[in-house]
């Protein structure tokens, strides 16, 4: 008993908590409630609770599509959770509205070097830190080496430029009558998206403060024209019909061999290991217009830990958030294959995919949501779909989206 008491007191002191702190219970809200996710979050919390008898953590599952609304409602009502797992892109918006606690005042700045810089910066606002990174992802080009060999491409030389993507795709296409049995590559299949390609080409669709849209900038127009060239070759109806057959597991288009090159997150390698353990494939950086990688060649999103404003135990909550963002992130990465923001936690997973993800973080852009139009992407998507389906003018389509989003920004600024 004396040994356990000594250990508990030592742990409290290491966390910066008062040695004789009154016993408290912290509330953690997050969206992980599935059979796959729940055991790991329970394991992380159990590890904390065993070491901190005076600072216990209670977990509450909130569905993903409700967690933001419920956390903000509880914060407004003066009864927020002590710690919440939130969208990495929107921390600055909550900081601007004083809905989250300043973590710099609790010592968070000393942790900065532990985390990947692009993740850390998403929680920085006005020179202060308002979140701790938890997990993110970075995207790659997956390519089928067997298909490469079949058409005479070197399986050890994946494309590095947009031009090569076009050339390789044309060789890898396989038609049956008027339809495609295999499509070599289509830029909007997978999880990269139109804005990902604009970033990949070195541009953004917002100014540096994320306040003024520039949806129809020259690079965005060229990018849409490039994607339209694929759609024109394949036919928009063929692309839509092909995509409608996509599914999970063995129905995945890359796993089933119907798509020769595919864009997805680093964690997709775990899916391939599960459903296609014998597949001969490669993982490469996403090609760029010049063939040289840049700071926005790939992109990621993810989740952070925040302390909603009004929490009753900020010091204890910060200590738990620090534990979860570091030691907890290591456990999460080992069991869930999600890439952690903590560099040391990332090194704990020794797979080739994690090594590639770690190397690719310097080429990964993690954007934050624009202040006055956080849901702008639905407007852009409609413009892209219209331009691809109609084959219409790219600049006109993006100009229309620019006008609509600019109106939203103007309205929300008032």
pLDDT score of 245: 84
**Contact yes or no for 88/133 (Cβ under 8 A):** yes
User: What does the alpha-carbon distance between residue 132 and residue 128 come to, in Å, rounded to a whole number?
Assistant: 12
- Same domain as 391, residue 286: yes
β-partners of residue 25 are 56
- Same domain as 317, residue 225: no
- Tell me the pLDDT tens digit for each residue of 369-392: 998 998 899 999 999 999 999 999
pLDDT score of 250: 81
- Same domain as 165, residue 63: no
Identify whether 9 is part of a domain.
no
Tokens encoding 225: 């024209």
pLDDT score of 3: 47
Identify whether 324 is part of a domain.
yes
pLDDT band at 5 (very low <50, low <70, confident <90, very high): very low
Residue 2 has pLDDT above 50, yes or no: no
What mean pLDDT, rounded, does the chain reach? 93
User: What does the alpha-carbon distance between residue 86 and residue 131 come to, in Å, rounded to a whole number?
Assistant: 9
β-partners of residue 139 are 265
pLDDT score of 257: 95
Average pLDDT of the residues in 345-358 = 93
pLDDT score of 378: 95
- The residue written with tokens 């409602």 in the block is 73
- Tell me the pLDDT tens digit for each residue of 225-257: 999 999 999 998 889 888 888 888 888 999 999
- Same domain as 99, residue 211: no
pLDDT band at 77 (very low <50, low <70, confident <90, very high): very high
pLDDT score of 18: 55
- Tell me the pLDDT tens digit for each residue of 245-296: 888 888 899 999 999 999 999 999 999 999 999 999 999 999 999 999 999 9
Residue 11 has pLDDT above 70, yes or no: no
- Please indicate whether residue 372 or residue 47 has the higher confidence score (pLDDT): 47
Average pLDDT of the residues in 86-104 = 96
Q: The domain that contains 269 carries what CATH number?
A: 3.40.190.10
The verdict on pTM exceeding 0.75 is yes
User: What does the alpha-carbon distance between residue 149 and residue 161 come to, in Å, rounded to a whole number?
Assistant: 20
- Same domain as 347, residue 382: no
Identify whether 194 is part of a domain.
yes
- Same domain as 312, residue 290: no
Identify whether 110 is part of a domain.
yes
pLDDT score of 1: 43
**Contact yes or no for 44/57 (Cβ under 8 A):** no
How would DSSP label each residue in 104-161? GGGTGGGGGGGB-HHHHGGGEETTEE--EEEEE--EEEEEEHHHHHHTT--TT----B
- Same domain as 132, residue 94: yes
Share of the chain above pLDDT 70, in %: 95
**Contact yes or no for 359/266 (Cβ under 8 A):** no
User: What does the alpha-carbon distance between residue 395 and residue 221 come to, in Å, rounded to a whole number?
Assistant: 5
- Same domain as 262, residue 177: yes
Is the torsion defined by CA of 217, 223, 229, 232 positive or negative?
A: negative
Share of the chain above pLDDT 90, in %: 86
CA-atom Rg of the chain in angstroms = 23
β-partners of residue 180 are 175
User: What does the alpha-carbon distance between residue 288 and residue 133 come to, in Å, rounded to a whole number?
Assistant: 28
Segments forming the whole domain that contains residue 161: 140-298+373-413
Identify whether 19 is part of a domain.
no
**Contact yes or no for 181/171 (Cβ under 8 A):** no
> Which CA distances in Å does 345 have to 101, 107, 185, 338?
25, 20, 34, 11
- Same domain as 244, residue 203: yes
Number of domains in the chain: 2
Least confident span in 239-248, 289-298, 299-308, 338-347: 239-248
- Same domain as 32, residue 72: yes
User: What does the alpha-carbon distance between residue 158 and residue 135 come to, in Å, rounded to a whole number?
Assistant: 28
Average pLDDT of the residues in 290-315 = 97
- Tell me the pLDDT tens digit for each residue of 121-135: 999 999 999 999 999
β-partners of residue 175 are 180
How would DSSP label each residue in 315-335? HHHHHHHHHIIIIIHHHHHHH
Identify whether 156 is part of a domain.
yes
Residue 191 has pLDDT above 50, yes or no: yes
- Same domain as 383, residue 258: yes
pLDDT band at 19 (very low <50, low <70, confident <90, very high): low
- Same domain as 265, residue 119: no
């Amino acid at each position: 008993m004396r040994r356990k008491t000594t250990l508990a007191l030592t742990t409290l002191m290491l966390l910066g908590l008062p040695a004789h702190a009154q016993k408290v219970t912290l509330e953690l809200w997050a969206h992980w409630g599935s059979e796959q996710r729940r055991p790991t979050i329970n394991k992380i919390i159990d590890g904390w609770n065993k070491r901190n008898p005076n600072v216990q953590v209670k977990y509450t599952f909130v569905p993903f599509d409700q967690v933001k609304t419920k956390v903000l409602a509880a914060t407004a009502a003066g009864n927020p959770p002590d710690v919440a797992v939130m969208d990495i892109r929107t921390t600055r918006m909550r900081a601007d509205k004083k809905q989250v606690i300043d973590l710099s005042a609790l010592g968070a700045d000393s942790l900065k070097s532990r985390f990947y810089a692009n993740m850390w910066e998403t929680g920085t606002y006005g020179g202060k830190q308002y979140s701790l990174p938890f997990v993110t992802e970075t995207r790659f080009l997956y390519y089928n080496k067997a298909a490469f060999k079949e058409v005479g491409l070197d399986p050890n030389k994946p494309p590095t430029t947009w031009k090569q993507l076009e050339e390789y795709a044309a060789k890898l296409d396989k038609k049956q009558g008027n339809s495609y049995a295999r499509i070599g590559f289509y830029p909007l299949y997978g999880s990269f998206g139109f804005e990902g390609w604009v970033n990949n080409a070195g541009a953004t669709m917002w100014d540096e403060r994320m306040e003024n849209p520039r949806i129809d900038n020259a690079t965005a127009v060229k990018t849409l024209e490039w994607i339209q060239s694929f759609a024109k070759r394949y036919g928009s109806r063929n692309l839509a019909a092909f995509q409608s057959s996509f599914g999970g597991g063995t129905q995945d288009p890359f796993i089933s061999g119907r798509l020769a090159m595919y864009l997805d997150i680093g964690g997709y390698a775990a899916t391939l290991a599960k459903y296609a353990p014998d597949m001969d494939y490669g993982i490469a950086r996403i090609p760029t217009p010049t063939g040289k990688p840049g700071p926005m060649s790939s992109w990621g999103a993810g989740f952070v830990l925040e302390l909603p404003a009004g929490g009753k135990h900020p010091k204890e909550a910060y200590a738990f958030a620090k534990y979860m963002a570091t030691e907890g992130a290591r456990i999460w990465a080992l069991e869930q294959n999600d890439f952690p923001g903590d560099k040391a936690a990332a090194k704990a997973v020794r797979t080739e995919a994690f090594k590639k993800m770690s190397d690719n973080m310097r080429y990964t852009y993690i954007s934050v949501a624009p202040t006055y139009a956080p849901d702008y992407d639905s407007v852009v998507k409609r413009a892209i779909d219209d331009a691809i389906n109609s084959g219409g003018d790219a600049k006109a389509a993006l100009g229309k989206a620019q006008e609509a989003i600019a109106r939203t920004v103007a309205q929300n600024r008032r």
